Amino acid sequence: MKMKPRLIPFAVAAMMALVPSLRTRAAAAGGAATPSHVYAISGAKVVTLAGPPVEHGTVVIRDGKIAAVGASVEVPADAQMIDGKGLEVYPGLFDAVTDLGLTEVEAVNATVDTADVGTYNPQLVAMTAVHPASELIPVARTNGITHALAAPLGGGGFRGGGEVISGQASAINLAGWTIEDMLIRRSVAMVVNWPSLQTRSFDLSTFSLRERPFTEVKQEYDKKINELADWMERARHYAQVMDKGSIANYDRDLKLEALAPVVRGQLPLLVIAEDKREIRSAVEFCDKQKLKMILGGGSESYKVKDLLAAKHIPVILGPTQSLAEDEDASYDQSYVTAGQLAAAGIKIAFASFNASFARRLPYQAANCVPYGLPYQEALKAVTLYPAQILGLADQLGTIEPGKMADLIVTDGDPLAIPTQVRYLFINGELTPTDNKHLRLYEEYRKRYQAPK
């Protein structure tokens, strides 16, 4: 559909203006709290990711789920029609690790809920802190991200210190009045910030870079690893007691209770580590402790890919638009890693690890395509593979009947910059593509159009 680029924001605004009327109609028709709207997107190219794309296809959405998809699908009489001619339908993008909903303004501590006091906080759960009215959520979803893993990322990393176990990450849809509306799954992974072996860190107390002797760092590191092992051991005992049903006879321990699914092998550890020694150490630890592991971040994962492949550890890569820590690394390493891991048989996904930069997710994936990651893999790494890695593939990741209707209808390649998301479906609801940025843009254009 050829439209002057300058008019697109107005088109989007016009679209947004239409949406309330659609919603009202449905509400007037006696819509309950649960989504009961029926939609049919017809005449679009439907990229299902569960087979070849359907060139002139129809997708029917009912009660929050994908009801039907195909070339010749019967459109229900009560369906609200969306003309998909010239448009494309994709599964909504999945930001596999983000602090969307947990961070509003990064520099303002009062608005940040990603890291708490203490070192071991497995009992904390992201969904208890997600702010459904965050301004950052509509900004991210306008660029095609329909659902995300809100993760308590912990305050460590570059700044040093922080939690080792920062809590459980929750899968959420990026739309809803309350967290109950948004929630896909309460506990998807246990976030572990792997202790650091870096001798150099930024010390906030002196506001400068700090270089420590390796022996000192290693000592601290070993201590933390031993503590981690100890937590797992205690959790195993606690789990045994729970299984025996004797819970009435002893004091409840919320932290150990939270770790029980981890030591039972049901809840994976999302280990955030960048350095190859730390990654290797984490893999060995999880192997020894018989824990399921997902690697998050992984900028040096390419250096230990054989180990990751052998142990079947999936990797959720941090922003590819970054520079390698290692000065001697190839200048394009951050783009090459994804392709190298994929070629080694490792399942990968991309994630923003951020809130205000989350909208860059599709470009982080696209940038890897010229460097060895096939386009289809890049697309799947922001749709299907994160769902598979996080145990949500029964609900998300492809356009197939029975799955949650988290879809985007675009005017082109969702990984390319010029593409606009024309319609957004989250949990089967047509969601406005309006956001704070569009509103400010339109508001200030008025300043310049107003007669002096």
Partner 1 sequence: MKRALENGDFLPLCCQRGFSSLRSYRWLNKKIGSKLLPFEIAAVLFLAVCAVRGQAADVTLIKNGTILTVTKGTIENGNVLIRDGKIAEVGKGLTAPAGAKVIDATGQYVMPGIIDCHSHIAIAGGVNEGSVSVSSMANIADVLNPEDIDIYRDLAGGVTAANILHGSANSIGGQTEVIKLRWGKPAKDLPFEGALPGIKFALGENPKRSGFSNPGAARRYPATRMGVMDVIREAFSEALDYKKAWDQYNRRKAAGEPNLIPPRRDLKLEPLLEVLEDRRLVHIHCYRADEILQMIRVAEEFHFRVATFQHVLEGYKVADEIAKHGAGGSTFSDWWAYKMEAFDAIPYNAALMTERGIVVSVNSDDASEATHLNQEAAKSMKWGGLSHDEALKLVTLNPAIQVRIAGRVGSIETGKDADIDIYDKDPLSVYAVAQKVLIDGQVYFDRQQDIAHRAGLEKEKKALMEKEKKAAEAAKPAATGRRPGPPGTARPPGTTPKPQEI
- Which residues between 377 and 406 bind partner 1 (CB under 8 A)? none
230 in contact with partner 1 (CB under 8 A):
no
d(CA 59, CA 430): 13
Residue 293: strand pairing partners? 269
Binding residue for partner 1, selected from 327, 402, 446, 450, defined by CB under 8 A: 327
Nearer to partner 1, 249 or 449 (CB): 449
Per CB under 8 A, the segment of 19-27, 83-91, 181-189, 369-377 that binds partner 1 is: 369-377
Closest CB to partner 1 among residues 37, 360? 360
For the bound state, the minimum distance from the C-beta of residue 75 to partner 1, rounded and expressed in Å, comes to 32
Helix (H) or strand (E) holding 82: strand 80-83
State the Cα–Cα distance between residues 252 and 274, nearest whole angstrom: 35
Is 306 among the residues that bind partner 1 (CB under 8 A)? no
**290: three-class secondary structure by DSSP:** coil
- Give the C-alpha distances (Å, rounded to integers) separating 371 from 293, 342, 365, 378: 27, 12, 11, 11
Under rule CB under 8 A, residue 91 binds partner 1: no
The count of other CB atoms within 10 Å of the CB of residue 86 is 13
Q: Find where tokens 């039972």 sit.
A: 264
Gyration radius of the chain's alpha carbons: 23
Our CB check for partner 1 shows the closer of 25 and 200 to be 200
The only residue of 363, 388, 391, 434 in contact with partner 1, by rule CB under 8 A: 363
In DSSP terms, 294 is beta-bridged to: 270
Rounded to an integer, what distance in angstroms lies between the CA atom of residue 442 and that of residue 448? 10
Whole-angstrom Cα distance, residue 138 to residue 432? 8
Is 167 a binding residue for partner 1 by CB under 8 A? The answer is: no
Give the integer Cα–Cα distance in Å for 223 and 227. 6
Question: Which of positions 413-442 make contact with partner 1 (CB under 8 A)?
Answer: 415-420, 436-437, 440-441
At residue 180, φ and ψ (nearest 5 deg) are: -65, -35
Give the nearest distance from C-beta 359 to partner 1 in angstroms: 7
Shortest distance, position 369 Cβ to partner 1, whole Å: 6
Residue that is written with structure tokens 């699914």 in the block: 261
Span near partner 1 by CB under 8 A; candidates 51-59, 82-90, 339-347, 366-374: 366-374
Among 32, 248, 448, 449, binds partner 1 (CB under 8 A): 448
The span from the first CA to the last CA of the chain, in angstroms, equals: 36
Q: How many binding residues for partner 1 (CB under 8 A)? A: 72
Give the nearer residue to partner 1 in terms of CB position, either 163 or 274: 274
Positions in 127-146 near partner 1 (CB under 8 A): 135-136, 139
Query: 236 to 275, contacts with partner 1 by CB under 8 A?
Result: 274
In the chain, the amino acid numbered 128 is T
For residues 181-200, which are near partner 1 according to CB under 8 A? Answer: 198-200
Measured from the CB atom, is 67 or 361 closer to partner 1? 361
Q: Taking the mean position of all CA atoms in its chain, how far away is CA 98?
A: 5
Interface residue with partner 1, options 194, 353, 423, 425 (CB under 8 A): 353
- Member of 121, 354, 427, 431 binding partner 1 (CB under 8 A): 354
Among the listed residues 63, 78, 211, 306, the single contact to partner 1 using CB under 8 A: 211
Residue 277 in 3-state DSSP?
helix
Binder among 4, 52, 72, 402 for partner 1 (CB under 8 A): 4
DSSP helix/strand/coil, 182: helix
**Residues 6 or more apart from 372 whose CB is under 8 A from it?**
336, 338, 339, 340, 343
Residues 95-114 that bind partner 1 (CB under 8 A): 104-108
Which is closer to partner 1, CB of 292 or CB of 422?
422
- Name which of residues 48 to 77 contact partner 1 (CB under 8 A): none
Q: Indicate left, alpha or beta for 131 from its phi (over 0: left) and psi (-120 to 50: alpha).
A: beta
Q: Toward partner 1, which CB reaches closer, 298 or 432?
A: 298
Q: Judged by CB, which is closer to partner 1: 39, or 335? A: 335
CA distance 114 to 157: 13
H or E element at residue 315: strand 315-317
Q: Is residue 371 a contact residue for partner 1 (CB under 8 A)? A: yes
Of 187 and 299, nearer to partner 1 (C-beta) is: 299
| Residues numbered 282-301 forming contacts with partner 1, rule: CB under 8 A | 297, 299
Smaller CB distance to partner 1: residue 23 or 439? 439
